[in-house]
Amino acid sequence: MKGLMLNQYYSVAKSILLYGMISIFVTSILLVAQIEAVERFVSFIPTIFLVLPAIEVLKHESMSGWNKFARTLPVKQNQIVQSHYLFFVLLLTIGLAITIVLSLLSSIMVGQTLDISTVASIMNGIAIAVIFGTFSFPLTYMFGSEKADGILVFAGLAAFGLYLLSAWLYGRIFENVSLKFIEEMHPDLFFSILFLGISAVLFFISYLLASQVYKQKEF
């Protein structure tokens, strides 16, 4: 497993560095500028940018023929799929760390408060990135890495679409419902916890589906 993940890292190391630098640069500028219209979405940038190389790995493996060679290794096929998902989670964690560090620096340097709404936005960014991976992996296994670019666009739109739909449904359901524990917790935070929990369940289902698709895939 460790060897599989190291191979994935080395194949996209430059992309990880590039996306990391871009996300830090863009996020830093937006945090310092304090543009109210985009404040809610600033925390999405590092987490979403950093997971892109995890999908790029599939293209590299297909182009190099590694996906065929990997099946001859003394590992189970579901472990190969598992390594891709774990690598995705690792990059997601790095993106989360960047988001937290930049948010803390912003609160110190420009006095921007790291409040519950900011924490909720960070959680939403994680959930959107997770849903992005949820769609990307099984669809790429199913239709092939040559269609990965189109799949990435679809997965991105689907992730943001589900976020907006979930936010709308949450508002419709709870606008006329008064629950004390939600009011005490903070409505935005409660939504973010629900949305993140749902995305985690979908991500696990995605892994099970991707494992089945990979087993039946002919390279």
Mean pLDDT rounded to a whole number for the chain: 80
pLDDT in tens, 60-88: 766 666 566 666 666 677 778 888 899 99
Tens of pLDDT along 89-113? 999 999 999 888 887 877 777 666 6
Predicted local confidence at residue 40, as pLDDT: 67
C-alpha span between 164 and 170 (Å, rounded): 10
49 or 147: which leads in pLDDT: 49
What's the pTM?
0.85
Per-residue pLDDT reduced to its tens digit, 136-150? 888 888 887 778 788
What count of residues does the chain have? Answer: 219
29 pLDDT higher than 90: no
How far is residue 59's CA from residue 54's CA, in Å, rounded to a whole number?
A: 10
Looking at the chain, the whole-number percentage of residues with pLDDT higher than 90 is 20
